[in-house]
Amino acid sequence: MTNRYKHLITAALVLLVLSVGWENRDTSPVRFGKIYLFDQTLYVSELTRGVRQLGISSPSSPANLGLIKMAGNHDTALRGTADDRRILYADSYADLIVFDVTDPATPKALDTLRNIFGQSYAIGWGDDILLGRPPNMAIDDIGGVEGCWGCREKAISPTSVMTSSSQVKTTADASSPSEAGSSSGRGGSMARFAVVDDYLYCVDYNQLYVFEIENPAKPRFVNRVQIGWGIETIFPYTNYLFIGGENGMFIYSRSDPRNPKYVSMFQHARSCDPVVVEGSYAYVTLRGGTRCGMVVSALHVVAIADLFNPKIIASYPLPQPMGLDVRSKIAYVCDDSAGVVVLDATDPVRIRELARITGKPGYDTILQNDMLIVVSEGAVSFYNVSHPDAPFLLGRFQLPA
């Protein structure tokens, strides 16, 4: 055998080893993250691959409708259109991607807003699994408000150049959550994206981004609002945005939906902080022992009848509370160590535990009628909670090991 052939064989073996190593890295365990519900379809972020679509009309056997492949995804939100299309908004690293997901089997990329979340992405704000920069990062001028330093080599096109309009639309009375849900669905309490009327709101480490989506397929960036630091979640309720951060809950008015205005802040000890609202109360979970803080782990009930002066009226200690949902003053609180804790907060100063769901550690949840949807690291579980003190499992979608 000549030296030339020996070199060729050696090179082939090296390529084979490298390719196998790359494949092994690609098969790392998938972790579920944020959830978004629209009608009978649940959209679940898979933090290494994209967005999983699940049909949940039969929760005992949820249907896998396919994966929207997208690296670097944290969050999603969705808007229905007058002609019955479904437009999905999703982040991919620092970019905002727009998809038509009307047919879940053939999702279509419609638009890309480049590097819109570049500041937050640059400091590694988000789920740990997505820290670092995407491969083949390029610097060019493809579009977006600050260029395209965070673009990936294989860009999704077409690219939109964001503009703003001088015409300001105001909303006198915002829809209730149930009314808004008819055209936009809803996210879990861990969401950083929210669709309300003709606007998409997104938060990052310290800012609120406003996009006009009167044409849902072509969102237009219209404003940035500085909030604070350590911002994590957003929850729309009536005409307000309730924004959770490491050091408190911020309340912003949507009386001018293009330019939300600061109303007040409820300050708490430094801790991770999703929030949901029902009636005149906000329910805030604080999680200590993390990067967000080392002290408090509890459910706080905050009176917001006077939005300018929110006040804590009760605190219920929990091990590691995460996302939550509330209906009729029954709080369903996910816990990273205890599954889901069901709490009766009818009398906020005497909160009592009704039940625990211990099948899987809970990350976030959405309550739909009498069905509780719970996402955990590798599964989405569906529970009947028609009797909150006796929840039972309906079905589960589990990723293969």
User: Three-state SS across the chain?
Assistant: CCHHHHHHHHHHHHHHHHHHHHHHHHCCCCCEEEEEEECCEEEEEECCCEEEEEECCCCCCCEEEEEEECCCCCCEEEEECCCCCEEEEEEECCEEEEEECCCCCCCEEEEEECCCCHHHHHCCCCCHHHCCCCCCCECCCCCCECECCCECCCCCCCECCCCCCCCCCCCCCCCCHHHHHHHHCEECCCCCEEEECCEEEEECCCEEEEEECCCCCCCEEEEEEECCCCEEEEEEECCEEEEEECCEEEEEECCCCCCCEEEEEEECCCCECCEEEECCEEEEEEECCECCECCCCEEEEEECCCCCCCEEEEEEECCCEEEEEEECCEEEEEECCCEEEEEECCCHHHCEEEEEECCCCCCEEEEECCEEEEECCCEEEEEECCCCCCCEEEEEEECCC
The span from the CA of 52 to the CA of 210, in Å, is 26
Percent of the chain at pLDDT exceeding 90: 58
Please check whether residue 318 lies inside any domain of the structure.
Answer: yes
Please check whether residue 310 lies inside any domain of the structure.
Answer: yes
Q: Is the pLDDT of residue 160 over 50?
A: no
| Residue corresponding to tokens 């790359």 | 22
Residue, of 237 and 172, whose pLDDT is higher: 237
Q: Is the pLDDT of residue 72 over 70?
A: yes
Cβ-based neighbours of 392, under 8 Å, separated by 6 or more: 383, 384
pLDDT band at 54 (very low <50, low <70, confident <90, very high): very high
Please check whether residue 372 lies inside any domain of the structure.
Answer: yes
Please check whether residue 379 lies inside any domain of the structure.
Answer: yes
Exposure string (b/e) for 229-251, b if CB count within 10 Å is 16 or more? ebbbbbbbbebbbbbbbbbbbbb
Across the range 62-81, mean pLDDT stands at 93
Q: What pLDDT is recorded for position 138?
A: 38
Please check whether residue 292 lies inside any domain of the structure.
Answer: yes
Q: Is the pLDDT of residue 270 over 70?
A: no
Please check whether residue 227 lies inside any domain of the structure.
Answer: no
pLDDT band at 141 (very low <50, low <70, confident <90, very high): very low
Domain that holds residue 278: 271-401
Please check whether residue 192 lies inside any domain of the structure.
Answer: no
pTM of the complete model:
0.81
Looking at the structure of the chain, the number of domains it has is 1
**Assigned token pair, 43:** 């959209």
Q: What pLDDT is recorded for position 238?
A: 94
CATH code of 293's domain: 2.130.10.10
Please give the biggest Cα pair distance in the chain. Answer: 86
Please check whether residue 391 lies inside any domain of the structure.
Answer: yes
